Amino acid sequence: MPFIPHTEEEIQAMLSSIGTASIEDLFDEIPPALRAGQLSNMPPALNEMAASRLMQERAEADGRYLNFIGAGAYEHHIPAAVWQIAGRGEFYSAYTPYQAEASQGTLQLLYEFQTMMASLTGMDVSNASLYDGASALAEAVLMAVRAHKSARRVLVPGCVHPLWRGVVEALVKNQGIELVAVPYCTAGGDIVADALKQFEGQDFAALVIQQPNFFGVLEEVDELTNWAHAQGMLVIGAVNPVSLGLLKAPGQWGSKGADIAVGEGQPLGAPLSSGGPYFGFMCCKQALARQMAGRVVGRTVDLDGKPGFCLTLQAREQHIRRAKATSNICTNQGLMATAATIHLALLGQDGLARVASACHANARALVEQATAVTGVERMFSEPFFHEAVITFDAPVADVLRALEAQGILGGLDLAPYYPELGNALLVCATETKTEADIARFVENLARIVARQSSAPSCTRLKPTATSKW
């Protein structure tokens, strides 16, 4: 019996203590009509060896590619120690640290996490994680609406990650909150002041600014923040934590700083892993601390006055406040926050700045070399961090398929998300890419684009490659 230790003798002793003849009898309060027979569709049990073999075959079927896709999930080096420690049973198999005295390891680590995230974003406080970047943005929208009191509308630019916009919509619409789109500039790839004028004098709870935005482009965050504050809105910064090794922290945007900073924590120690588990982070100014969603760890003292850590501000949470809680979130992404904390400690101040700089340098090299190819151009003019949109005179889907045949995942086709952009490919290079990787990508791209642009588009042989929104 997998993972069940009972011997036959013990089972009999236990049944006799209960005063019953069989395990079956223990289910006698369940109406007989409901007691299912055998499951119909369940494969037979495998031992660990057979299960491992199966999983290895599945993993090998997926292969390994040279990856230039970013779009919200980024390939970074993860130090070996991160998962060797996060995978220790004491972290891996512990519960939420409600029993503080028996959970000081997790609690202190989360306090360190909160300190690192608050400092990285330039905010006063941080929570102990949310599910992912997209749902963290949704929680920030709800938080802004709670804090603002009168407005139930939030401005969300079209250059915010389209999948994130979809998630926010799904998570907030039932509460009568409206997301109003702000058009992006098709030349620069960013939000421009002209696009905002139409909203002046209206009642909005917040403006969302993603930095870098979905196109990899850097927004004029100071100007945007000051504009939103002048209009009585809060500013929600959605940021990539690795970029903050190089870029201005949301807390320093404009003259007052953003009010809430959220983001996808995946670049800090979480493997790409087909999309999860990652973690969302949420930081804010002190004045908004009691409006945050999710768990928060505080430092306090014990009976002897010795410092210790416990979950705090629990009066916001569902297990205390029930229907009046700030969010329904209970389980968060604790182990991913654990990995991120160890990751940041191993990188340190200097390491994170170097990773960010290397990402930027590699992405620049990629874009420079790609756009040196005849017919390949960068689509937007504004500066970028570690990804950019390129365009060429060939169907992107065909080019990507040809690259895939060479073992290269060449980026994300934007057609399903931004059909108005025509042939647009979002490419990313992080610190993991070498000069040789970039050269291999560009050589193949040049060859394929030259061939594709002189030939008619081939018929699609396979279903569309990417999930669409």
Partner 1 sequence: MLIFELSRPGRKNPSQAPAAPAEANDIPAHLLRRDKPLLPEVSEMDAVRHYTRLSQKNFSIDTHFYPLGSCTMKYNPRGSHQMAMLPQFLARHPLAPEATGQGVLACFHELQEMLKDVTGMAGVSLTPMAGAQGEFAGVAMIRAYHASRGDAARTEMLVPDAAHGTNPASAVMGGFTVREIPTDRDGNVDLAALKTAVGPQTAGLMLTNPSTLGVFEKNIQAMQQIVHEAGGLLYYDGANLNAILGRVRPGDMGFDVIHVNLHKTFSTPHGGGGPGSGPVGVSERLLPFLPVPVVTLDAGRYRLVTEHDLPQTIGRLSAFMGNTGILLRAYAYARTLGGEGMRRVADFATLNANYLMAELQKAGFDIAFPQRRASHEFIVTLKSLKDKTGVSAMDVAKRLLDKGFHAPTTYFPMLVPECLLIEPTETESKQTLDAFVAALKEILEEALATPELVKSAPHTMPVRRLDDVKAARELDLTWKA
Q: Which of positions 46-85 make contact with partner 1 (CB under 8 A)?
A: 46-48, 51-52, 54-65, 67, 69, 71-73, 75, 77, 79, 81, 83, 85
> To the nearest whole angstrom, how small is the minimum distance from the Cβ of residue 464 to partner 1?
8
Q: Which long-range contacts (CB under 8 A, 24 or more apart) does 107-110 make?
A: 107/297, 107/308, 107/309, 107/310, 107/311, 108/309, 109/338, 109/341, 110/295, 110/297, 110/309, 110/334, 110/337, 110/338, 110/341
200 binds partner 1 (CB under 8 A): no
Among 183, 271, 371, 378, binds partner 1 (CB under 8 A): 271
| Residue 108 vs 232, nearer CB to partner 1 | 108
For the chain, report the end-to-end CA distance as a whole number of angstroms. 44
Establish if 93 lies at the interface with partner 1 (CB under 8 A): yes
Site string for partner 1, 205-234 (x = CB under 8 A): -------------x-xxx------------
- Residues, the chain: 469
Token couple for 271: 């493997």
- Residue 20, classed as helix, strand or coil, is coil
Task: Give 334-350 as a DSSP string.
Answer: HHHHHHHHHHHHHHHHH
CB 309, min distance to partner 1, A:
8
Nearest distance from C-beta of residue 26 to partner 1, angstroms: 5
Which 415-444 residues touch partner 1, going by CB under 8 A?
A: 431
Q: Are 68 and 388 in contact (CB under 8 A)?
A: no
Restricted to residues 272-311, the positions that interact with partner 1 (CB under 8 A) are: 272-277, 279, 289, 295-304, 306, 308-311
Q: Please state the closest distance from residue 338 (CB atom) to partner 1, in A.
A: 6
Fill in the DSSP letter of residue 219.
Answer: P
- What is the nearest approach in angstroms of partner 1 to the Cβ of residue 368? 10
* Phi, psi of 239, rounded to the nearest 5 degrees: -125, 155
Q: Determine, following the binding rule CB under 8 A, whether residue 158 of this chain makes contact with partner 1.
A: no
Please pick, from the candidates 179, 195, 246, 450, the single residue that binds partner 1 as defined by CB under 8 A: 246
Q: Which is nearer to partner 1, 118 or 228 (CB)?
A: 118
The answer to the question of residue 244 lying near partner 1 (CB under 8 A) is yes
By CB under 8 A, is residue 249 in contact with partner 1? yes
Q: Does 183 participate in binding partner 1 (rule CB under 8 A)?
A: no
Residue 466 engages partner 1 in binding (rule: CB under 8 A): yes
User: Residue 458 interacts with partner 1 (CB under 8 A)?
Assistant: no
Count of residues touching partner 1 (by CB under 8 A): 206
105 binding partner 1? (CB under 8 A): yes
H or E stretch including 15?
A: helix 8-18
Residue 335 interacts with partner 1 (CB under 8 A)? yes
Using CA atoms, how far apart are residues 216 and 296, in angstroms rounded to an integer? 31
Measured from the CB atom, the residue of 375 and 383 that comes closer to partner 1 is: 383
Please give the Cα distance from 231 to 72 (Å, whole number). Answer: 30
Instruction: For the segment 355-414, give every residue that binds partner 1 (CB under 8 A).
Output: 355, 357-358, 360-361, 364, 383, 385, 400, 404, 409, 412
Residue 353 or 450: which CB sits closer to partner 1?
Answer: 353
Contact status: 34 vs partner 1 (CB under 8 A): yes
Unique residue bearing structure tokens 């008619």: 456
Q: Which x/- pattern over 128-147 shows residues binding partner 1 (rule: CB under 8 A)? A: xx-xxxxx------------
Distance CA 318, CA 22 (A): 39
The smaller minimum CB distance to partner 1, of residues 199 and 211, is found at 211
Nearest residue to 420 (alpha-carbon basis) of 210, 156, 167, 189: 189
| Burial (CB count <10 Å: 0-12, 13-18, 19+), residue 99 | exposed
Q: Which residues of 194-219 are buried (b: 16+ CB within 10 A; e: fewer)?
A: ebbeebeeeebbbbbbbbbbbbbbbb
42: which residues sit within 8 A by CB, 6+ positions away? none
Residue from 194, 322, 420, 454 binding partner 1 (CB under 8 A): 322
Based on the shown chain and the rule CB under 8 A, indicate whether residue 166 belongs to the binding site for partner 1: yes
